A and B are shown apart, each in its own frame.
Chain A
Amino acid sequence: MTTEAADSAEAVGAIAPAADPGFLQRYGGTIEYVLIPGAALVGALGVFGIFVAMFGKNPLDLYFYMYYGAFGTWFSWQNTLTRAAPLILTALCTALPAQLGMVIIGGEGALLIGALSATSAALALQGLPPLVVQIAMVCAGVTGGGLWIMLAGALRQYRGVNETISSLLLVYIALAVLNHLVEGAMRDPASLNKPSTREIGAANMIGSIPGTDVHWGLVFGLIAAIAAYILIYHTVFGFAARVAGGNIRAAKIVGLGVSKLILTICFLAGGAAGLAGMVEVAAVQGRTNANLAAGYGFTGILVAFLARQNPLAIIPVAILLGGISASGGLLQRRLGLPDASVLVLQGIIFVFVLASDALYGRIGFLKGKS
């Protein structure tokens, strides 16, 4: 449903009809895709304000600190962008399979497996030039995460196992595998309180974009999102994927290799989340431990839905939600709100965004004539 609607919006933008159809009819659809999620966001912030007011906090203070903590200063901008980087990548893990009509919510698991694979690669290649190690980490992270989600895709295609449930179960299995290795075979004996693997070494870290404290992971995320956009909307492969997502029987009848599509898309999706894990290891943590299960995979689901599964729209939405989570610390310190308040707000936004699906095509002045 989502993809079909996105198609028509695309088509209207790309192929301009001969007669001038009027502004609203041309761009009404696009405006709708900005206006409705925007309204949902405002509604969610309003409800969250009421919720916080029930605990005796001033909602205006809340909004001010949220803005200040997310976008108020250069420092908070950097914090926001640092958090947006993994969110872009984990959102792709939900958005790419969505083109095929699949609901994958296991980005967290692919992130953990990607981090574990990347760390293993770095530890195995100690002593080689940093660039070689970094490239190996990217390959390992993408492959590890990719295979993890491909498993969910393969189970769906060959065994009919529901991919939503299997991908979520795989999150818990990934977490168990990570804990098992981090506390066992891969444990650094020096890490006493917080079992961790050995460090990948300062030279192998990917570092920051010059002039900022934002690490290169953001660039990885931007490239991945743009590449995903081109793949889905401007290649034959992406077109085939969207056909299969719209009508799987029609896709089979015209001879599209649906199995190959599903496996490839799931691999790319998991690869994106795996890359997020690699970035978190190589730019933030420097090692693998349970800290990596910070919920980026779950927030990524929300980002993908809020962006209506469009890879380009994921970028601003990820920055927005990165900002919300960046402001969490300030809300805790200044307003005494629990750290879970960010989770509550995310949940409310999610509910509002889904409920707003009912509004599409129903806003009178955007309809134009049809």
Chain B
Amino acid sequence: MADGSIGLWTVPLAVLGGAIRVSTPFLFVSLGECITERSGRINLGLEGTLVMGAMSAYGSSYLTGSPWLGVLAAGITGALLGALHAGICSLPRVNDVAVGIALMLFGTGLAFYLGKPLIEPTAARLPAIDFGWWSDIPQVRAALRVNVLFLIGVALAPILYWAFRTTRWGLLIRTAGESSDATRAMGHSVLLIRLRATMVGGFLAGIGGSFLSLFYPGSWNEGLSSGQGITAVALVIFARWDPLLCLWASLAFGGAAALGPALQSVGVTSGYHLFNAAPYILTLAIMIMTCSPKRTLTGAPAELSITR
């Protein structure tokens, strides 16, 4: 309450700012996972991909001085992890959920290992666009400092929505997700489609990770991601595999995740840790409300193991 004039308005403003700022990793991971799951496979390893992306982005940005090369490096790292996931899942009788858990542990461990020397130095960070120039209130300006990656993510959601519906590769991914037999009958390789879908999904999740280390919170440490990746995977399920719903859900999650810090800034500190758990509680609550044991979810790809 630095200036006192806006008082409790700080909280909704910070939540709005948080919805914009904190939602970006959720958005990228959920869009990436959306592509992967639409092709009939679930990649739970995106939590590890997120952390690896954050680490490699920070490292590359530190070494080259260019944060955008960092974003690219994060994407490539993510795509490689995606290829690893898809490669192992291509073997017969290998369970994609279990491979995801393995890659979650592997990605996190590898990022901590390689990222040890990166905790100290400061890397070049991503620039932000100031949409709050018209306002004199510092909180408003802070809330409206928007990162370019967020805008890219927002643009990506309708593009993906359109691509799934109208393009050839969108149809192929959906076919692979609905019926692998039909895909084979059409003369396409299911494994190849899923490999590509998982790699693109990993690419996007890696970029989501680069946002964590290069913009907000904007440094590399081992506590950087605590479950954002897995929350985003759950988010895809109740967004009904629809990229546009992923966008709205990510915004809601960003807002929920910003609630704890926002309340702390106005002096409410007692339930700090509980408010920090808000995104997880929200995820669980929404899953309880939207799932049902009697029917499969509308919009669920038929080949997806996790909804069967």
Contacts and interface: CB of A to CB of B under 8 A. Distances in A.
Contacts of A159: 287-288, 291-293
A327 B176 CA distance: 45
B23 interface: no
Nearest to A176: B277
Nearest to B100: A164
B283 interface: yes
Contacts of B92: 358
B169 interface: no
A165 B287 contact: yes
Contacts of B292: 159-160
B91 A355 contact: yes
A219 interface: no
B233 to A, nearest CB: 7
Interface stretch (A115-123, A124-132, A273-281, A340-348): A340-348
Interface residues of A, number: 48
Contacts of B291: 159-162
A176 B88 contact: no
B99 A354 contact: yes
B108 interface: yes
B105 A155 contact: no
A165 B105 contact: no
Contacts of B266: none
Given A342-B109, A354-B94, 15 more contacts: A103-B101, A160-B293, A161-B284, A168-B230, A169-B227, A170-B284, A298-B105, A341-B113, A343-B105, A343-B110, A343-B113, A347-B103, A347-B107, A353-B102, A357-B93
11 contacts: A159-B288, A164-B44, A169-B234, A169-B280, A301-B105, A342-B109, A346-B106, A347-B103, A347-B110, A350-B102, A357-B94
Interface of A: 1, 103, 105, 155, 157-162, 164-166, 168-173, 175-177, 179-180, 183-184, 298, 301-302, 305, 338, 340-348, 350-351, 353-355, 357-358, 360
Interface of B: 44, 84, 88, 91-95, 97-99, 101-103, 105-110, 112-113, 116, 226-227, 230-231, 233-234, 237, 270-274, 276-277, 280-281, 283-284, 287-288, 291-294, 306-307
